[in-house]
């Protein structure tokens, strides 16, 4: 479990955006830039070059959130020691304001799968995930936030609800939680449950960061709606409404706009961040 020497997350309760190198100059030149930036850890595990130089410069002006996508926290095998060592090196020199990963698995034996795959919520899975989180937090020397997944199926063997599973992980390990509101909406549509009911059951007091992103609409083999978490378009109105529902209950939180494919010009991304600020401004005093 997390010890007292591990540094907590410290992002401002304001909008941030996922950083893309094509926006570097515009972010620095903007008269009223966003409050913070997020990077994907795996893009910055090298030792030098322009990406590292730009990130060092940005870190002098913005709080940085490091978001990992490759640890395979839920994988059955041990964590990749080389990957974890590189992550420790990145977190060590960057000293980010936040570090997070996914409740998912993406490795099998020595093979890396290019997806974040769901887990059955059982006692055995709980023990494995908690052990992996303890290892990560002990290695990097700071609290980790764990993100709820986007789901396209449910496991019959699950004995925990997702909110209760995440609450128990946080209790056992001392980690915080990253609430991806779009993932809640995607999962609720795909698995036919109430997104508001999910939020009511979720441990909002453990949330250190909120994510918003776009999704694509499709149909399953039976003609039922199927949403795909794509991060390739603007946030839709029902997800903005769900964010309002969350913030009314949680109070102000750091809110990130994720846009990872078909990345738009900076003004489009900035407009999404402005909409997030408007949601924060609506929170009752």
Each residue of 162-204: pLDDT tens digit?
Answer: 999 999 999 999 999 999 999 999 999 999 999 999 999 999 9
Asked if residue 8 belongs to a domain, the reply is no
Mean pLDDT (whole number) for 218-230: 74
In terms of Cβ atoms closer than 10 Å to its own Cβ (0-12, 13-18, 19+), residue 252 is middle
Judge whether residue 264 has pLDDT over 50. Answer: yes
Torsion of CA 87, 89, 93, 98, to 10 degrees: 20
pLDDT value at position 242?
98
* Tokens encoding 108: 């099998």
Split at pLDDT 50, 70, 90, the class of 222 is: low
Asked if residue 3 belongs to a domain, the reply is no
Highest mean pLDDT among 150-164, 214-228, 235-249: 235-249
pLDDT value at position 5?
47
> Structure pTM?
0.91
Report the distance separating Cα 245 and Cα 234, nearest Å. 19
Q: Are 247 and 283 in contact (CB under 8 A)?
A: yes
pLDDT value at position 11?
96
Question: For residues 221 and 53, which has the higher predicted lDDT (pLDDT)?
Answer: 53
Percent of the chain with pLDDT over 70: 91
pLDDT value at position 156?
81
Report the distance separating Cα 187 and Cα 174, nearest Å. 26
Question: For residues 220 and 148, which has the higher predicted lDDT (pLDDT)?
Answer: 148
Split at pLDDT 50, 70, 90, the class of 270 is: very high
Q: Are 211 and 180 in contact (CB under 8 A)?
A: yes
Report the distance separating Cα 127 and Cα 140, nearest Å. 20
Question: For residues 126 and 3, which has the higher predicted lDDT (pLDDT)?
Answer: 126
Judge whether residue 1 has pLDDT over 70. Answer: no
Number of Cα atoms under 13 Å in the Cβ half of residue 111: 4
pLDDT value at position 284?
81
Highest mean pLDDT among 105-114, 152-161, 174-183, 224-233: 174-183
The domain spanning residue 264 has which CATH number?
Answer: 3.20.20.150
Asked if residue 93 belongs to a domain, the reply is yes
Each residue of 52-80: pLDDT tens digit?
Answer: 999 999 999 999 999 998 898 988 889 99
Domain count of the chain? 1
Report the distance separating Cα 152 and Cα 219, nearest Å. 12
Asked if residue 9 belongs to a domain, the reply is no
Asked if residue 186 belongs to a domain, the reply is yes
Write the DSSP assignment of the chain as a string of letters.
---TTSBPP---SSEEEE--GGGHHHHHH-SS--SEEEEEGGGG-SS-SHHHHHHHHHHTTS-EEEE-S-S-TT-SS---HHHHHHHHHHHHHH--SEEEEESSEEEETTEEEEEEE-----HHHHHHHHHHHHHHHHHHTB--EEEPPP-S---TT--S-HHHHHHHHHHHH--EEEEEHHHHHHHHHHHT--HHHHHHHS-GGGEEEEEEE-EEEEE-TTS-EEEEE---SPPPHHHHHHHHHHHHHH-S--EEEE--SS---HHHHHHHHHHHHHHHHTS--
Asked if residue 1 belongs to a domain, the reply is no
Domain that holds residue 179: 15-281
The rounded mean pLDDT for the chain is: 90
Asked if residue 157 belongs to a domain, the reply is yes
Each residue of 91-135: pLDDT tens digit?
Answer: 999 999 999 999 985 544 444 444 567 788 999 999 999 999 999
Report the distance separating Cα 185 and Cα 227, nearest Å. 9
For every residue of 136-185, which 3-state class applies, written as one string?
HHHHHCECCEEECCCCCCCCCCCCCCHHHHHHHHHHHHCCEEEEEHHHHH
Asked if residue 174 belongs to a domain, the reply is yes
End-to-end CA distance of the chain: 35
Q: Are 88 and 45 in contact (CB under 8 A)?
A: no
pLDDT value at position 239?
97
Report the distance separating Cα 5 and Cα 2, nearest Å. 8
């Amino acid at each position: 479990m997390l010890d007292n020497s591990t540094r907590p997350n410290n992002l401002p309760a304001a909008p941030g955006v996922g950083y893309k190198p094509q926006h570097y100059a515009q972010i620095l030149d903007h008269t009223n830039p966003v409050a913070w930036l997020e990077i994907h850890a795996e893009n910055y595990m090298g030792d030098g070059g322009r990406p590292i130089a730009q990130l060092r410069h940005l870190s002098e002006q913005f709080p940085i959130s490091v978001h990992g996508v490759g640890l395979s926290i839920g994988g059955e095998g041990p964590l990749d020691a080389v990957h974890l060592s590189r992550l420790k090196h990145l977190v060590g020199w960057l000293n980010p304001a936040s570090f997070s990963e996914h409740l998912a698995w993406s490795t099998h034996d020595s093979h890396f799968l290019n997806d974040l795959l769901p887990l059955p919520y059982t006692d055995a899975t709980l023990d494995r995930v908690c052990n992996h989180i303890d290892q990560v937090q002990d290695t990097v020397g700071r609290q980790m936030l764990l993100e709820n997944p986007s789901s396209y199926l449910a496991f019959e063997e699950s004995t925990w609800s997702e909110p209760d599973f995440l609450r128990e992980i946080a209790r056992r390990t001392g980690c915080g939680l990253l609430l991806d509101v779009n993932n809640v909406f995607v999962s609720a549509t795909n698995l036919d449950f109430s997104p508001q009911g999910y939020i009511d059951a979720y441990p909002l007091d453990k949330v250190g960061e909120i994510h918003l992103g776009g999704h694509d609409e499709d149909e399953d083999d039976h003609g039922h709606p199927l949403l795909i978490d794509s991060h390739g378009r603007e946030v839709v109105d029902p997800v903005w409404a769900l964010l309002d529902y969350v913030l009314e209950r949680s109070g102000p939180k750091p809110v990130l706009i994720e846009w990872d494919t078909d990345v738009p010009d900076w003004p489009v991304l900035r407009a999404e961040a402005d909409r997030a600020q408007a949601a924060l401004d609506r929170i009752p005093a």
